[in-house]
């Protein structure tokens, strides 16, 4: 009888690291989680300590190996990571020259404004599929090189290395032997040409980034290198992807027209558009999805800034709930939201409106409005915002969406998922396993090392928890959407 086979998956997120042990049937058999510190040195600035990220990742790995007692049967390692977060370190010592600048950080907004004034925005969008924004890595790298004494000269001499968090973890796991990234993470830097799948000389010039510091770019399922740390020595690192693309792969959205929505603090919706990039005029991003070889797979991505964060606001801000979980029951106590709409534009509106000046509002209040109406309307707002993104996607991509696959913490809310199906008019499918980000990285590593021969093999292991189908008429749907659109117009600048 052959030995059981396991894959270790590292899901390195914005606030903590989750480590999963996944068996050859795609089951999660052990799990560990460790948080790390968030630093806010100035308003709008967010930083992490790369050393601490590496330390908690090792702790979470040790937790999983300790609890499970499994080590010798691990055949591969996968990494999923918070995207765009930027680390620059010395190749010789492996020490970062500055704290990691997190994807949420706005410190380079002025650089982006100056570049827009130079008129390079359209060129950048055509090559990268992205908008010129402080969110992405390119301006963060230049910021570090220009503010750390001697860094730019060191970079030109090839003494420094840049990486998003996947590259940083890969470097540490291989004891400084491997400096690589995958297509999905590279496509979030503003430096990769998504049409040629290579670093672009014109973009490097625009963002003032020396090529010598950049990692080698590989397909997401690749033999990146072998772990050298004692805990995992000799095990190949064989799958890497940015968190949203990893979740998409974990949901097996591998054909054009397949889409997933991750319901977390915000919502991240990705639609597979196949072998050709599709560009949007409504602020959606064109990005690379996971590739199993050197053939590009493209996706459209739309972000809803405030989803689960609106429920946190009900709990911590206006304190009308004790736990996020109780919203499902409360919302089900009434038949509708009584004409109340909550527009949670706490930090402006994202796709497809892109109004940074918009602010949140509760509209339609009457003397009969109750706490239940406000709670229900807040959950409905998460679904309404996701419909706006889906509508914008389908306007650009020549595909039909037949089903939306969902994951993330808020996907466990049955009321929200039912309302999402109602308001979209298509089925919403929730898998049994909603840790799809870590699962995606495990799947990539397993395919690269032959644990699974194909994506089709994985389909057999995918278990569906529940499918939500629309229970309202087209007229009822149109009426609700018209009310929402009216509410959004009222809060826009």
**What digits encode the pLDDT tens for the residues 249-268?**
999 999 998 999 999 888 89
pLDDT tens track for 401-422: 889 999 988 899 999 999 999 9
Q: Residue 493 — pLDDT band, cuts 50, 70, 90?
A: confident
What average pLDDT does the chain have?
A: 93
State the pLDDT at residue 105: 87
State the pLDDT at residue 394: 86
Residue 423 has pLDDT above 90, yes or no: yes
CA distance to 143, 170, 396, 480, per residue, from 125 (Å)? 21, 29, 16, 34
State the pLDDT at residue 72: 78
Residue 126 has pLDDT above 70, yes or no: yes
- The ranges assigned to domains in the chain are 6-244
State the pLDDT at residue 2: 57
State the pLDDT at residue 1: 37
State the pLDDT at residue 211: 96
CATH superfamily of 6-244: ATPase, nucleotide binding domain (3.30.420.40)
Q: What mean pLDDT is predicted for residues 310-331?
A: 93
Q: What mean pLDDT is predicted for residues 474-486?
A: 96
Q: What mean pLDDT is predicted for residues 116-123?
A: 93
Residue 375 has pLDDT above 90, yes or no: yes
Residue 384 has pLDDT above 50, yes or no: yes
């Amino acid at each position: 009888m052959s030995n059981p086979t396991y894959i270790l998956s590292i899901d390195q997120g914005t606030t903590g690291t989750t480590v999963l042990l996944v068996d050859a049937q795609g089951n999660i058999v052990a799990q560990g989680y460790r948080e790390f510190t968030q630093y806010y040195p100035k308003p709008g600035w967010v930083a992490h300590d790369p050393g601490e990220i590496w330390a908690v990742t090792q702790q979470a790995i040790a937790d999983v190996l300790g609890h499970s007692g499994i080590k010798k049967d691990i055949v591969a390692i996968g990494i999923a990571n918070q995207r765009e977060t930027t680390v620059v370190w010395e190749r010789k010592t492996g020490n970062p020259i500055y704290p990691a600048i997190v994807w949420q950080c706005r410190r380079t907004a002025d650089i982006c404004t100056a570049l827009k004034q130079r008129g390079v925005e359209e060129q950048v969008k055509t090559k990268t599929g992205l908008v010129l924004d402080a969110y992405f890595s390119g301006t963060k790298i230049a910021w570090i090189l220009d503010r750390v004494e001697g860094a730019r000269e060191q970079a030109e001499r090839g003494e420094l290395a840049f990486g998003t968090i996947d590259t940083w973890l890969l470097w540490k796991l291989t004891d400084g032997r491997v400096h690589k990234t995958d297509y999905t993470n590279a496509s979030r830097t503003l430096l990769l040409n998504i049409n040629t799948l290579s670093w672009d000389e014109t973009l490097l010039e625009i963002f003032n980034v020396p090529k010598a510091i950049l990692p080698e770019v590989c397909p997401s399922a690749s033999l990146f290198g072998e772990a050298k740390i004692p805990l995992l020595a000799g095990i190949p690192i064989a799958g890497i992807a940015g968190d949203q693309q990893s979740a998409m792969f974990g949901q097996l959205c591998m054909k054009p027209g397949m889409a997933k929505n991750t319901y977390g603090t915000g919502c991240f919706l990705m639609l597979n558009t196949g072998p050709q990039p599709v560009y949007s005029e409504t602020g959606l991003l064109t990005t690379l999805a996971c590739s199993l070889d050197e053939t590009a797979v493209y996706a459209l991505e739309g972000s809803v800034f405030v989803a689960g964060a609106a429920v946190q606001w009900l709990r911590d801000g206006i304190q009308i709930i004790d736990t996020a979980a109780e919203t499902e029951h409360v919302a089900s106590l009434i038949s509708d939201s009584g004409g109340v709409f909550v527009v949670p534009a706490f930090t402006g509106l994202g796709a497809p409106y892109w109004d940074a000046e918009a602010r949140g509002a509760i509209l339609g209040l009457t003397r009969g409005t109750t706490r239940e109406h406000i709670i229900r309307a807040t959950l409905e707002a998460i679904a309404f915002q996701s419909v706006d993104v889906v509508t914008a996607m389908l306007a650009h991509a020549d595909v039909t969406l037949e089903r939306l696959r969902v994951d993330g913490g808020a996907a466990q809310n049955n009321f929200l998922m039912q309302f999402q199906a109602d308001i979209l008019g298509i089925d919403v499918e929730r898998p049994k396993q909603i840790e799809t980000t870590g699962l995606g990285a495990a799947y990539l590593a397993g395919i690269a090392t032959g644990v699974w021969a194909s994506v089709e093999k994985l389909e057999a292991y995918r278990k569906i928890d529940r499918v939500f189908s629309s229970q309202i008429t087209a007229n009822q749907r149109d009426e609700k959407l018209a009310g929402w659109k009216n509410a959004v117009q009222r809060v826009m600048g």
